[in-house]
Amino acid sequence: MDLEIVAIGNELLLGFTIDTNGAELGQALGAIGVRVTRRTTVGDEPAAIRGAVAEALSRTGAVLTTGGLGPTRDDVSKKVVAELYGWPFRFHDEIWQRLVERFRRMGREPAPANRGQAEVPEGASVLNNRWGTAPGLWLEGSPGLVIMLPGVPHEMRNLLAHEVVPRLAERAGGAVVASKELRTSSIPESTLAGRLEAFEDALAPLSLAYLPGVHGVDLRLTAWNLPRSEAEGLLADAAQRLRSAIGDVVYGEDGADLAAVLVDTLREQRHTVSLGESCTGGLVGARITAVPGSSAVFQGGVVCYSNAAKTALLGVASGLIESTGAVSPEVALALARGARDRFGTTASIGVTGIAGPDGGSVEKPVGTVCFAWLLGEREEQSRYVFPGGREEVRERAAQFALHRLFRMAGAA
Amino acid sequence: MDLEIVAIGNELLLGFTIDTNGAELGQALGAIGVRVTRRTTVGDEPAAIRGAVAEALSRTGAVLTTGGLGPTRDDVSKKVVAELYGWPFRFHDEIWQRLVERFRRMGREPAPANRGQAEVPEGASVLNNRWGTAPGLWLEGSPGLVIMLPGVPHEMRNLLAHEVVPRLAERAGGAVVASKELRTSSIPESTLAGRLEAFEDALAPLSLAYLPGVHGVDLRLTAWNLPRSEAEGLLADAAQRLRSAIGDVVYGEDGADLAAVLVDTLREQRHTVSLGESCTGGLVGARITAVPGSSAVFQGGVVCYSNAAKTALLGVASGLIESTGAVSPEVALALARGARDRFGTTASIGVTGIAGPDGGSVEKPVGTVCFAWLLGEREEQSRYVFPGGREEVRERAAQFALHRLFRMAGAA
């Protein structure tokens, strides 16, 4: 089945917002055999919205819109689309009750502006939005199918997954575009490419893409327009072959989060973990605690940004800091040991480095980060120089810190 | 002047590439008075490209395309657009020589596939691409103006800045699209809308957009097609009026980062700050330390995820945790005081809450977060229930924690 997307919002045209919804929709719909044939972005003007939706309907008969459903008066898309169907609005008491309840839970009351969010076109089905205040709408009849979703990314994503994809998958059927991703870290793209060179030709009809980012290089295998079972078989087989070549640097598949994978591994091995962070400033802790259920493994961490805090809170000898500098493998080890002892854990990580933009030297340029990892009786240390600006150095360092502990635990 | 964008590429529709070019174009063109009225994304199919470009020309007479100029055979846009003008191709020796030279510098020779990149439509001007192999093209005549740029972001960006913007600025003639953003936090969109209702009509000819996100609601004022000086005057004046109505919740303008604003404010007031974090797990520290130069203010923090760590590292009485539970204003205050005392700072924040997905109760549902802030002699506390999933609750809580300390310091 073919479908067009109409994205609504002045912000998108003005360039103040990057449209990430379009890519998410393309992937999610492609995966169930719905082909997105065009995406049109228009501003918050009724005539432009009407024109774009009507033209798209005339080409494919099926349109998905994002944006223009909020409580403020710059949101007009619901009204414009209802006019295409000739449907009047009615007040939808169930939506209103859910809104009132949602606000009540947060100790508040809906504002008068929210009342309009409970008005829906007469013939439309309501897609219950449990992640925000604007419900999605499903309009089907003459002149075709229009699915309206809010533009806020996490609301769009949840409504898509829970309300739209199940309904569309039924009617799509047939050939799909499917892909599988292997996530690697701590290895440069060119080294990876060298190790995989001999495999690439044998992957046909699948394509292989290298996607480098601050968290490492993702490898995407894609099957194009094949029946689902055939595509999935080919992808599983190819992923297996890639793993046999580079399994040591792979930490997961398809959007896997390294912190989540690490938490799972540590929990299985009955380890607990703590942190002594300097340059990452809490980022490693934030990565770990982003994982639901991480409290079973993670006891805590100390962010000791000043040298005084390194000594006072984690017992790093001030003489050591003076003799090696605050950024040294020895201080990283002292941070890891201090955290382990204070929090009473079986594993720990120490991180200290120079995130920049200032503080670099010839011997220790900006991007230099020293690490220490403790896991049971084992200790490892590393010094690495990361490229990029302050945020990139910190993100790469946090990922590197998590990855080595994962590899130590995996090899255990 | 009005213009439409046509973005070309299967990978954009499939969602494997996020279209960042669209946002860059919107901002760069708006700043010289070129209004982007629509953006259409189509795949690498001749009929789809021809249709999208021809329709756009019929609406505005001016189109900018991105993508479809590379050496591979799925790049067909140049051919399709030349047909709209009825112009044959000719081999452009200068482009070819530049290509040969470019490859020579990298120690290689052009492939046969590159030869097509030196073929250009007879009536087109060439936009010299010093950042890649595919030249940009400027076609002007009947049926209008078509500017063709490569889709690779850094090539697009450079050609836009060096070749396109100077040419378009001349004919756009003065009127610009300009905007100003006020960033707010700790106030719901509907409440904000209520407080600003009386101002909205008086803002004309400016438009006002509400942009909610996990960090709060941004208010964007936009001036459309006005001379630059008039636009800037109106924007400054309107921003002033909005601030007079809701200045207490505004923390900055135009992309300001709350953590950076807070660090500046604390530094000016010679405060130092420390953290006792539970549910945010290091996120508040990560936000603060993302700011270059934050080490002048930030001493450190303790992430005490377990109750034992709260007691051992920040001296929170275990009896208190038993009597009030780990999520209470009292424990938040004990965390803040413990951090302040351990790190010897003049300001501190304590955060404890239930990020979910588990751990909620009727009295303390998921999303409940308790805060305490110390600034000099002042102490404040708050309990708030945030909507959303685990990550959203944590992000919102971190922002809330930073925002109140900023407001306390601002009122000092």
A370-385 pLDDT tens trace: 999 999 999 999 999 9
At residue A201, what are phi and psi to the nearest 5 degrees? -65, -35
The last residue of one of the domains, among A111, A146, A172, is A172
pLDDT computed for residue B74 by the predictor: 57
Query: Of B20, B82, B17, which is closest to residue B46 (Cα–Cα)?
Result: B82
The domain total for chain B is: 3
Confidence grade of residue A8 (pLDDT, cut at 50, 70, 90): very high
What is the count of residue pairs from A and B with beta carbons less than 8 Å apart?
292
Mean pLDDT for A188-214 is 85
Confidence grade of residue B130 (pLDDT, cut at 50, 70, 90): confident
pLDDT in tens, A274-303: 999 999 999 999 999 999 999 999 999 999
B40 and B103 both lie in a single domain: yes
- Picking from A106-110, A137-141, B104-108, B223-227, which range would have the lowest pLDDT averaged per residue? B104-108
- Picking from A170-174, A394-398, B84-88, which range would have the lowest pLDDT averaged per residue? A170-174
Query: In this structure, what CATH number is given to the domain that contains residue B61?
Result: 3.40.980.10
Per DSSP bridges, beta strands A368-375 and A378-385 are antiparallel
The last residue of one of the domains, among B154, B172, B190, is B172
Mean pLDDT for A356-380 is 94
Give the SS3 label for residue B267: helix
Q: Which residue of A has its CA nearest to B363?
A: A105
Confidence grade of residue B347 (pLDDT, cut at 50, 70, 90): very high
pTM: 0.80
Say yes or no for a CB contact (<8 Å) between A111 and B193.
yes
Contact B177, B33 (CB under 8 A): yes
- For residue A52, give its domain range: 2-172
B287 and B382 both lie in a single domain: yes
The last residue of one of the domains, among B118, B152, B172, is B172
Confidence grade of residue A69 (pLDDT, cut at 50, 70, 90): confident
Mean of pLDDT over chain B? 92
pLDDT computed for residue A412 by the predictor: 47
Say yes or no for a CB contact (<8 Å) between B36 and A16.
no
Mean of pLDDT over chain A? 92
Mean pLDDT for B18-34 is 92
Chain A residues with CB inside 8 Å of B388's CB? 131, 154
pLDDT computed for residue B411 by the predictor: 63
pLDDT at A127 over 90: yes
Mean pLDDT for A115-143 is 91
Beta bridge partners of residue B239, listed in sequence order: none
- Probe site for chain A from B3, B5, B16 (most A CB atoms < 10 A): B16
Chain B residues with CB inside 8 Å of A282's CB? 275, 277, 281-286, 289, 301, 303
**Residues above pLDDT 70, as percent of chain B:** 98
pLDDT at B59 over 50: yes
Say yes or no for a CB contact (<8 Å) between A309 and B283.
no
Provide the angle, in degrees to the nearest 10, between the axes of the packed helices B228-246 and B189-200: 120
Mean pLDDT for A115-128 is 91
A375 and A304 both lie in a single domain: yes
**Token pair 């799972």: residue:** A264
For A131, which of B283, B356, B388 is closest by C-beta distance? B388
pLDDT computed for residue A206 by the predictor: 92
A76 and A14 both lie in a single domain: yes
Q: CA A148 to CA A127: how far, in whole Å?
A: 9
Say yes or no for a CB contact (<8 Å) between A15 and B25.
yes
**Residues above pLDDT 90, as percent of chain A:** 71
Query: In this structure, what CATH number is given to the domain that contains residue B197?
Result: 3.30.70.2860
Mean pLDDT for A49-58 is 97
pLDDT computed for residue A74 by the predictor: 60
Say yes or no for a CB contact (<8 Å) between A40 and B40.
yes
Helices (H), A201-257: 228-246
Query: Of A268, A276, A335, A258, which is closest to residue A296 (Cα–Cα)?
Result: A268
- How many other β-carbons are positioned within 10 Å of the β-carbon of residue A17? 22
Q: Which residues contact A24 (CB under 8 A, 6 or more apart)?
A: A153, A156, A157, A160, B15
Chain A residues with CB inside 8 Å of B313's CB? 300, 302, 313, 342-343
Q: Is A214 left (phi over 0), alpha (psi -120 to 50) or beta?
A: alpha
pLDDT at B22 over 70: yes
**Token pair 């040294």: residue:** A328
Say yes or no for a CB contact (<8 Å) between A343 and B293.
no
Say yes or no for a CB contact (<8 Å) between B39 and A154.
no
Query: In this structure, what CATH number is given to the domain that contains residue B269?
Result: 3.90.950.20
Q: CA A350 to CA A304: how far, in whole Å?
A: 11
pLDDT computed for residue A132 by the predictor: 84
- Picking from A183-187, B101-105, B222-226, which range would have the lowest pLDDT averaged per residue? B101-105
A113 and A218 both lie in a single domain: no
A158 and A36 both lie in a single domain: yes
For A113, which of B20, B193, B390 is closest by C-beta distance? B193
pLDDT computed for residue B412 by the predictor: 46
A131 and A180 both lie in a single domain: no
Q: Which residue of B has its CA nearest to A222?
A: B16
B281 and B141 both lie in a single domain: no
Say yes or no for a CB contact (<8 Å) between A289 and B301.
no
Q: Which amino acid is at B355?
A: A
Q: CA B262 to CA B297: how far, in whole Å?
A: 10
Beta bridge partners of residue A368, listed in sequence order: A385
What is the largest distance, in Å, between two alpha-carbon atoms of chain B?
86
CA distance A105 to chain B (A): 8
Q: Is A270 left (phi over 0), alpha (psi -120 to 50) or beta?
A: left
Say yes or no for a CB contact (<8 Å) between B209 and A52.
no
pLDDT in tens, B258-279: 999 999 999 999 999 999 999 9
pLDDT computed for residue B336 by the predictor: 98
- Probe site for chain A from B37, B50, B203, B303 (most A CB atoms < 10 A): B303
pLDDT computed for residue B73 by the predictor: 56
A209 and A183 both lie in a single domain: yes
- How many other β-carbons are positioned within 10 Å of the β-carbon of residue B59? 15
Q: Which residue of A has its CA nearest to B14?
A: A26
Say yes or no for a CB contact (<8 Å) between B20 and A25.
no
B17 and B41 both lie in a single domain: yes
Please work out, in degrees rounded to the nearest 5, the angle formed at the alpha carbon of residue B305 by the alpha carbons of B304 and B309.
50
B186 and B66 both lie in a single domain: no
pLDDT computed for residue B28 by the predictor: 92
A305 and A372 both lie in a single domain: yes
pLDDT at B201 over 90: no
- Picking from A187-201, A386-400, B358-372, B375-389, which range would have the lowest pLDDT averaged per residue? A187-201
Q: Which two tokens stand for residue B387?
A: 């909507």
pLDDT in tens, A237-254: 999 999 999 988 999 998
